[in-house]
Structures are given as C-alpha cells and as structure tokens.
Amino acid sequence: MAAPNGALRRATAEGSGRHIECATMSTASFLIALIAIFIAAKVFGEIAERLGQPAVLGELIGGVAIGVSGLRLVDPHDVTIHLLSELGVILLLFVIGLETDLKKLMQVGGSATAVAVIGVALPLAGGFAFGELLGMSRMVSLFLGASLTATSVGITARVLSDLGHLKDDASQIILGAAVVDDIIGLVLLTIVGTLAEGGALTVLGIGRIVLIAFGFVLLAIVIGSQLAPMLIRAIDRIKVARGLLFASIVFALALAYVAQRVGSAIIIGSFAAGLVLARTHRGKDICREVHDVSQFFVPIFFVAVGAAIDFRTINWMGFALAAIGIVGKVLAGFVVWRKGMNRLVVGAGMIPRGEVGLIFAQIGLSTRLLSAELYSAVTVMIMITTFVAPPLLRRLLAQETPGELESGSADIVMDAPADDAGS
Amino acid sequence: MAAPNGALRRATAEGSGRHIECATMSTASFLIALIAIFIAAKVFGEIAERLGQPAVLGELIGGVAIGVSGLRLVDPHDVTIHLLSELGVILLLFVIGLETDLKKLMQVGGSATAVAVIGVALPLAGGFAFGELLGMSRMVSLFLGASLTATSVGITARVLSDLGHLKDDASQIILGAAVVDDIIGLVLLTIVGTLAEGGALTVLGIGRIVLIAFGFVLLAIVIGSQLAPMLIRAIDRIKVARGLLFASIVFALALAYVAQRVGSAIIIGSFAAGLVLARTHRGKDICREVHDVSQFFVPIFFVAVGAAIDFRTINWMGFALAAIGIVGKVLAGFVVWRKGMNRLVVGAGMIPRGEVGLIFAQIGLSTRLLSAELYSAVTVMIMITTFVAPPLLRRLLAQETPGELESGSADIVMDAPADDAGS
C-alpha cells in the first residue's frame, strides 16, 4: 500500500517493466507538479483579483511562472498533466453548459451564428492575405488563416464568469458564437488536414464533414433531452451514494467521448451535456455538485495553458498574426444587430485563441508545410490573444455596469472568496 | 480549445512528437477508462451494499470486471491511471487522518505497536519457513516472508468506514498498527532490497533506516502541529477562493512528497497531514471539503487494485501464502490486552495486503530471485487477502453491534446513500 523509495522504485520500473512502461512521471514529480499548479493558481489568481482582474488571468500567469518559460516545475506536454487539463476543460464547459439556459441561447442563435461566421471568415481571409503578401504558397497561407479562426471558449467563459457577467445577453452570444466557431474550426481542420496530407476533397466529402459536425450538436441535444430525465429519475429511485454527481459526470464524459469519436470536440460534447442536464428537475443540484469537483481540475487546465507558453519563440510575425486575429474578431462583433448591446464586448470575448490554432500549427509542422518560425508565430499569436482578452473584457464590462465587480456577484464557475469565508 | 479527431491526432502525435512523447493513453481512452471506473465503482458498490457488504468490496470486484481479467477497459499499469489511483489513496488516508483523533490513537499506541510487531514477525517467519520447507535459498525464503508483512491500510480503513466503525477502539488499534507495520515494511523493503542487490548491511546502516522511517512520522506530527495552525490562520486572513481546501490539499501532498523522499510512504505522509490538520480550529471544515473532492479519486484507487488482478496467475502456492498471511495477522490480534474488545476484529482488520507486498515481489522478479511462479504466488496472496477481509470484518462487526449496519451510520469517508437523497 505504500510507494517504494526512489532507488528501489527505479530498479522496479527498469527491471520488470510492469509498473511504468516509458519515461513518464514518477509519483514524486506528479506530487510536485500538483503542488506547484495549485499554489500558482491560487497565489496568482488572488493577486489578479486584488488588481481588479479576472482570476483566470492570474492562473495563466501562474502557469507561465512554473512552466517552460519559468521554474519548469510542470511539463505541460507530460501525458498525465495533459489528460488532467483536458478533464479540467471538459468539466469547465460542463459547468458552463449547466449554467446556460438553452432557450436563451437559442434566442441569440441568429446573432451568435452571424458573429461566428464573420469571425471565422475575416481572420481566415486576413491570415491568408498575410501569407500571400509574404510570398508563401497557397497551402501555407491557408494554414496561417485557418489557425486564426477558432475562439478558445474556455478562457472567455472563465473571464465572463469571474466578472459575474456569464448570464448577460452579450455573454450568451459569445458562448453560442464560440461553440459554432469551434465547430467551423473543426470542419476547417478536417478539410485543411486532408489537403495537407495530399488528399482530394469533393463537395460531397465536405458536405459530410459539415453535416457530422453540426449534426452531432443537434442530435446530442435532442436525444440527450430525452435520455437525461430518464437517467435522473433512475438515479433518484435507486439512491446510490453520490449517484447524481457520478451519473452526471459519466454522462458528460460519455458525450465528450462520442463528440471526439464522430469528429467533433470533447468540450462541445460536455457543453451539450450541461445544456441538457440543466433542464432536468435536478439541474441546480447537479450544477452545485459538479462545480465542487470541477474546482479541483479547472485550474490545472489554465495553469497548463500558461505553462506551455515559451517566450523564446516570440517573433514579429506572431504580433502581426495576433493583430489580424484580434481585428477580425472585434469586427465580427459589430455584426450583432441588437440595440443597447455593447458590441465591443462580443468582439473582445471572441479574441482568445487556443488549442485548435495550435493543432493547425502542429499539423502544418508535421507535414513540413510550416517552418519552425511560422509555427512559433502561431504560438505567439495564441499567447497574445490569450493575455489580451481578460483585461480588455474586464475594462469593457466595468464601463458597462460600474460597481458590479465590487458587489461580489461572480458566477459560481469558480467560487468567489466570500463563499469560502462563509463556510 | 478542441481536441482533434482520431486520425489527425495520431498524425500530430507521430509527426511532431510534441503532444505525446510515448505510447500512452489518448484522450478518448482516458475518457473510456474514467467512465468505466465510475460506472463499475457505483454499480458494483451499490450491489455490495444491498447484499450487506461494504461498498469497497464491490469497487474491487467492479475493478476485476473491467480490468485485465475482465473487459480490459482499464489498464491499471497505465501511468495516468496509476498516478490518479495514487492520488486517490493519498486523499483517502488524508481524510482518514482528518477523522482520527491523535490523542485516542496515542492511547492505543502500545496495543497498536504490539499488534504491528507480532503481525510482521509471524508472517515473516511463516513465509520464511514455507520457503525453507520447499528447499528454496535463504534469500528467496526471506523475500517470501517479507512480502507477507505489510497490511494494506487503505482497504481496511475503507471497510471500517463503510460499516460505520471507524471511531471504534478496535479500529483505532488497527489504524495505528497498520501505520506502524507499513513503516516496518518499508524498513524491511530497504534492507531486503539492499541484500537482493548484493549490498552489505551494517548495524549502523539498519539503525539509520529505522530512525528515518519512524523519525519522519514523529517529526511530521511535531513540526506539522506547529505549522498547521499558522497556515490555517493565514488562509483565514487572506480569504482566497477555496483557500482552505487548496491549502489543506497542498499541505497533504507536500507531506506525502517529503515522506517518499526520505524513504517513508506517501500515504503515511498524507495520514500525518490529516492527523495534524484535524487538530486545528477549522479541522471539521477541512474534513468536509477534502472529503467532497476525495469522492472523485478514491474509487479510482480501489477499481485500479481490482483491475490489476489477473486470475490466470492463480496457483496453489498463492493459497498457501495467503493462509500463512491470514493466520499470522489474526494471531497478532490476540496480543491486545484490553478487555471487552473483539480481538478477532483487530486481527481480521490487519489481513489485507497490498502494494508493499507487490513491490517486494517485483524487486524479487527484477533481481531474478523470484521465479515467475513465485511472483504470481505473491500476487494471488494479495488478491485473496484483499477479498477475504471485507466480508469477514463485516460479519465480525455485525455480531458485535447488531443492527448498526442498518441504521445508516457509515462514516463520511464515502457518503452513505442517505446523504445524496437528502441533497
């Protein structure tokens, strides 16, 4: 029941090869990584909040401090850290889905889709033009454009939640648009990936990809809405210990798995699971219980994002790409035609880019279409957009409803300090 | 922000080698493993409880069902599953430490130490004699004996908690004895490991090993008792969101890390952390908050233990070793001299063996002292002792206080069904 000490553990691992198959983390370095992640998240998150910034900005900076550009206590590419951070973002989007009113989301569906489409088209065109201007090949230019398309919904959602604005109309548009543009990004990923590997694309093939991507979300919500109440009733009846929590999490993980299997994204699966479960009669209980567990995993995601940032890669093209990406999304925000809405907030909310952009870059690198320099430029673009959005959103939202920040109205995706003091 | 689909992910991983360094789990198989673990834990745990057995027995059987002897949905040797199950047992012993009254534990210290010493000596002698009888070398016989010594405190603690008997005097003796015999087991591990690698041992060397092993626990409790109140006061003052939870968990992980570094065991570190924090003025709050998080990880440990059981290894020597191990521990229980105490409960509580035995076996295998057959025999011994203890303890405890099981008085290490129904 106890772990062996260092020397013997190594002997065990090398000798029999049963315990650990390859050069991955030992228990000791796993413990160090977790300790570093939690301390960094809490200390820097607290500093950010005291400076009036969203806690997530602090968690990202905390990640930088202990990651590849800092103390190197956490290797964001280690498989266990990677999987735990994936679990973190799955649970984050699950909680955000649980807090989202599907009806309200549908009401802003038109605006959200418009923002998503324009917000994909402008950066795609801008990135493509940038590549052409520098005399790159069509394919390389396409890669650069595509890497600018998908918003990182996780960061934006955390910022809105940290600032207590998750239920605003503008936030609903941002959430909806971020989900739609993630789907478009995945469609682009499949198309560009196929082209990069030298494959041919037919109209029929593209149609199939689009159908699967959007069909999954629709089916998940329609079928899920039928299944979820039955699941909850069954759980209510058999009264397993913590049954509601585990059934909900299994439901979210299962939808995340199916989403990935059919070519959609894990977080779209768990977001859909949240939307569906929120409408059952135990929605509020589920939200509270899942939220308690998610507290543990969500910071791992944001610290890992920060830890992966490598300042040595900074180059001017990264700043140029970031500018194109920011302008494209901000302009897309002006598509919204509702009056009385701060359209800058919508655009600013769409700014952060994340893993989808990185995956484009990695495919480009592995197929030798992108040089190491261009790969770094995409990484820098992601870094800049990630750090620009939180303070910008905070400033725009503070103008809108002055004083709300001080009233401690943060949504419960991450607890406000007051919650803990009261316990 | 989204994960790529299967084909592209593989291309990414193979091409750039940035994301995943070696052939470990993909996100999809991680999700499947988690889904399988939670369903197995809850379904089999519930069945066990309906049959009047502790839930942990169901979780172990659930692990068998989805592990190497069953559906093979979970690979217990995968590094991420292994690390998460380590985190599970760290948090389990942390919660058990938080629920343990250090004073009460000290009061039974004499009995506990006696049970531990005799409970190590008898199986060690028995295993050694068994080897000699079969004509094995001294060293091999020593290995067999040593692999029988250390009780798996995790399984016993869960059983006692599931049955609502964690605060009994007998349970305090079992807990204390299990901690002491884990320390003795680690001392033996270092000694036998050194001998197996051909090293020489001096009396001074052995003395140093013993001093470190026991010194760590004493120092952790003495220094921890000074540091913990300061830590809690600081957390109370700065009011970070969920600060109490994260500070406590970081404290436990840090002690677990130090424990492993100095040659003690991770779970002894987290148990000591629990003992120390339980005595601060926020002890009850910490216990409740940590318990909520531990719910998620503890089943991973027990399901992983079950998943590692390989029925193909069963052979007669395993049964013989199990018999020696069971008789040795049960006899050790009779050392307790308090009147009115069910000494059979103490002995039965010491029966389960776990990782320490397995580590002995693995070192034996890697140094070619143990044949594959003897290695399997140790595995079978662990399997049998693990499955014998829960129903045996349940039967003995039910005789002692008939009806208590039905009154729903399970300790909070794992929630009783009633808790969930009430939420």
A-chain residues within 8 Å CB-CB of B34?
A: 87, 253
> What average pLDDT score do residues A11-26 get?
44
Is B168 an 8 Å CB contact of chain A? no
The answer to whether the CB atoms of A39 and B266 lie below 8 A apart is no
pLDDT of A280 above 90: yes
The answer to whether the CB atoms of B45 and A240 lie below 8 A apart is yes
Which run of H or E residues covers position B100? none
pLDDT for A413: 54
Is B213 an 8 Å CB contact of chain A? no
pLDDT in tens, B284-309: 999 999 998 998 999 999 999 889 88
Pick from A10, A31, A385 the residue to mutate for testing the B interface (most B CBs within 10 Å).
A31
Structure tokens at B227: 């540091």
* Mean pLDDT (chain A, rounded): 84
pLDDT of A409 above 60: no
pLDDT band at A407 (very low <50, low <70, confident <90, very high): very low
Q: Where are the domains of chain B?
A: 89-293+313-401
Q: Which residues partner with B151 through β-bridges?
A: B353
Scan residues 268-297 of B and list those with Cβ closer than 8 Å to A: 268, 285, 289, 292-293, 295-296
Burial B174-194 (b: 16+ CB within 10 A, else e): bbbbbbbbbbbbbbbbbbbbb
Identify which of B134, B155, B153 has the alpha carbon closest to the alpha carbon of residue B143.
B134
Q: Where are the alpha helices (DSSP H) in B99-152?
A: 102-107, 109-133, 138-147
The answer to whether the CB atoms of A359 and B20 lie below 8 A apart is no
pLDDT in tens, A81-113: 999 999 999 999 999 899 888 888 888 999 999
Identify which of A167, A125, A163 has the alpha carbon closest to the alpha carbon of residue A145.
A125
Is B372 an 8 Å CB contact of chain A? no
CA of B340, closest CA in chain A: separation in Å?
30
pLDDT band at B191 (very low <50, low <70, confident <90, very high): confident
Is B234 an 8 Å CB contact of chain A? no
pLDDT of A179 above 80: yes
Scan residues 386-415 of A and list those with Cβ closer than 8 Å to B: 414-415
CB-count exposure of residue A89 (10 Å: 0-12, 13-18, 19+): buried
Q: Which amino acid is it at B321?
A: L
The answer to whether the CB atoms of B27 and A416 lie below 8 A apart is no
Residue B265: closest C-alpha in chain A: A2
B-chain residues within 8 Å CB-CB of A250?
A: 35, 38-39
pLDDT in tens, B123-165: 999 999 999 999 999 999 999 999 999 898 888 888 898 889 9
A·B CB contacts under 8 A: 319
pLDDT for A81: 94
Is B417 an 8 Å CB contact of chain A? yes
> What average pLDDT score do residues A238-244 get?
83
The answer to whether the CB atoms of B1 and A25 lie below 8 A apart is no
Among the partner-chain residues A150, A296, A415, the one whose CB lies closest to the CB of B241 is A415
B-chain residues within 8 Å CB-CB of A292?
A: 292-293
The answer to whether the CB atoms of B2 and A355 lie below 8 A apart is yes
pLDDT of B15 above 80: no
A-chain residues within 8 Å CB-CB of B367?
A: 11, 15
pLDDT for B375: 87
Residue A12: closest C-alpha in chain B: B363
Among the partner-chain residues A19, A22, A246, the one whose CB lies closest to the CB of B38 is A246
If one compares B9 and B190, the residue with the highest pLDDT of the two is B190
> How far is it, in rounded angstroms, from Cα A44 to Cα A37?
11
pLDDT of A47 above 90: yes
Residue A324 CA: distances (Å) to CA of A145, A210, A331, A350: 9, 26, 11, 13
pLDDT of B404 above 80: no
Place of tokens 């900074």: A314
What is residue B151's three-state secondary structure? Answer: strand
> How far is it, in rounded angstroms, from Cα A174 to Cα A170?
6
pLDDT for B338: 76
Sorted by sequence, the CB contacts under 8 Å of residue B403 that are 6+ apart come out as none
The answer to whether the CB atoms of A79 and B21 lie below 8 A apart is yes
Is B239 an 8 Å CB contact of chain A? yes
> How far is it, in rounded angstroms, from Cα B169 to Cα B337?
12
Residue B8: closest C-alpha in chain A: A193
B-chain residues within 8 Å CB-CB of A79?
A: 20-22, 24-25, 79-80
CA of A339, closest CA in chain B: separation in Å?
31
pLDDT of A388 above 70: yes
Domain at B89-293+313-401: CATH code: 1.20.1530.20
Tally Cβ neighbours within 10 Å of residue A41. 28
pLDDT for B272: 93
B-chain residues within 8 Å CB-CB of A241?
A: 42, 45-46, 55, 414-417, 419-420
Sorted by sequence, the CB contacts under 8 Å of residue B335 that are 6+ apart come out as B111, B114, B115, B118
If one compares A277 and B358, the residue with the highest pLDDT of the two is A277
> How far is it, in rounded angstroms, from Cα A287 to Cα A91?
11
CATH of A93-293+312-398, one of 1.10.3720.10, 3.30.1490.20, 3.65.10.10, 1.20.1530.20: 1.20.1530.20
Tally Cβ neighbours within 10 Å of residue B92. 28
The answer to whether the CB atoms of A79 and B77 lie below 8 A apart is no
The answer to whether the CB atoms of B35 and A250 lie below 8 A apart is yes
* Mean pLDDT (chain B, rounded): 84
| ipTM of predicted assembly, 2 dp | 0.84
pLDDT of B222 above 90: yes
B-chain residues within 8 Å CB-CB of A267?
A: 1-3
Burial A44-69 (b: 16+ CB within 10 A, else e): bbbebbeeebbbbbbbbbbbbbbbbb
